[in-house]
Amino acid sequence: MIIHVSHNDLDGYGCSVVFDYFVKTICKVKDDYYSLGEDHGYRYFIDFTHALDKFISNNEEVPIVFRDVMSEDSGLYSHYCIHCSYDDVDDKIIHEIEKAADQRFLSSQIGVKPRFFVSDLRFSEETLDYMCEAKIIDRDSKDKYVCIFDHHKTFEKKIPIFADKGVHCYYSKDMCSTFALYISIMYSLSLLKLEWHSEGEYENYKQYLAGLGFFLKLEEEMMKLKEFALAVDNYDMWRDEKDDGDQLNNLFQATHSSSGNKYFVDRFLGNPSTELLPNEKFLLDNYTMSKDQYVKDAIDSTMINSNGKHTYGIILAEKHASIIGNRALREEGVPKVDYVKIINVKENKVSLRSLGDFDVSVIAEANGGGGHKNAAGYYSKNIKDEF
């Protein structure tokens, strides 16, 4: 069982799309192999896929979570994703651990533990200790049951603590979590393909070609998702090269609801192209018009303040924080400010945005939050003090 815990923003849902697409692709390619085996000696292909699984499972250079989904004995078809914020990630993970413990007790699977794959956010050190107590994490075991993929600057400082307890940590400074996950999968497939060629334990030339074909087919299918992963990166990392990131985020926001965004995940699992479908074009035309007016009104009401050292803009908004911050600093231009503070009074949430060398993650960390140098945030204990 793999429990995927991911952020509830575009990048977090992008990780869901990439990981689920990877699992779906492996299932499809393996099913094709088994179907082929029924026509050409089923036993031969079963023996071969077992040899392939063993080869993949023993490759420690490939992240454990990828080996899990490529290995036949890992419960390939048994995984699900839950989305959450930094505010409730700890509660969600603890709930999943308790639920898994109850299920193992009821099914008598005492030795079976769930694996946690966490993307685009991290849990607290208190939850880390709880995982150790629950024996989900064992620092002395080679078998790692928890893996974190994150690109936030505040995670980098915590890596030694998490790694020392037995967590596999993957940090990507210059790209979003979705694109980092995609690149890591593609690199792993290339590495496995190369090592199968040079060190694979195949019995004959037919098995060699079958193994090579397996990795080539996975690469071919995963390449279809490259455009999607790049679009998420363009938006999440504030890149100016293309408009596809903004368009993708608009689609995400327009189809999002309080219960999540099943449409978004299912849409790109079925059709990975970022080109809008006819119904999506109609939806976005109406959504964009409403959003642009909301952003303009929020920026027009900007208040300028100073703490003695730095000048900053205060903007009240309950949504579109990244777009408001980006436009306020880049386009409309709030004059002579080091950063902007976007306050969501309803959720007691403060989002910080800056440009250049001004590091707002320092401010966020001082208030119990975190993030990047130019994009960070925290939950305020007293929202009135933020003004």
Confidence of residue 107 (pLDDT cuts 50, 70, 90): very low
Confidence of residue 372 (pLDDT cuts 50, 70, 90): confident
Please, what CATH class does the domain formed by 299-386 belong to? alpha beta
Q: Which of 43-47, 222-226, 348-352 has the lowest mean pLDDT?
A: 43-47
Distance CA 172, CA 117 (A): 16
Q: For 160-211, write each residue's pLDDT tens digit.
A: 999 999 998 999 888 999 999 999 999 999 988 888 877 766 667 777 777 7
Contact 325, 342 (CB under 8 A): yes
Residues 110-123, mean pLDDT to the nearest whole number = 82
Distance CA 32, CA 71 (A): 16
Return the pLDDT at 36: 62
Q: For 238-267, write each residue's pLDDT tens digit.
A: 776 557 898 999 999 999 887 778 999 999
User: Does position 275 have pLDDT exceeding 80, yes or no?
Assistant: yes
Q: Please state the length of the chain.
A: 387
* 79-84 and 115-119 strand pairing: unpaired
Nearest to 233 by CA among 222, 223, 245, 248: 245
Residues 124-133, mean pLDDT to the nearest whole number = 93
User: Does position 88 have pLDDT exceeding 60, yes or no?
Assistant: yes
Contact 206, 191 (CB under 8 A): no
- Which two tokens mark 372? 């990047």
Return the pLDDT at 242: 59
User: Does position 49 have pLDDT exceeding 70, yes or no?
Assistant: no
pLDDT-above-70 percentage for the chain: 87
Distance CA 183, CA 90 (A): 27
Return the pLDDT at 219: 93
User: Does position 74 have pLDDT exceeding 60, yes or no?
Assistant: no
Q: For 285-320, write each residue's pLDDT tens digit.
A: 888 888 888 888 898 888 888 888 888 999 999 888
- Which two tokens mark 371? 């993030």
User: Does position 273 have pLDDT exceeding 90, yes or no?
Assistant: yes
Q: Give residue limits of the domains in the chain.
A: 2-225, 299-386
Residues 98-108, mean pLDDT to the nearest whole number = 64
Greater confidence, 331 or 377?
377
CA-angle at 212, arms to 210 and 216, nearest 5°: 115
Q: Is 378 exposed, middle or buried (0-12, 13-18, 19+ CB in 10 A)?
A: buried
Q: For 6-34, write each residue's pLDDT tens digit.
A: 999 999 999 999 999 998 888 888 777 66
Give all strands of the β-sheet with 2-7 in edge-to-edge order. 79-84, 2-7, 115-119, 146-150, 168-171
Residues 326-351, mean pLDDT to the nearest whole number = 84
Angstrom CA distances, 269 to 216, 260, 264, 315, 362, stand at: 20, 16, 9, 37, 37
* 2-7 and 115-119 strand pairing: parallel
Distance CA 214, CA 4 (A): 25
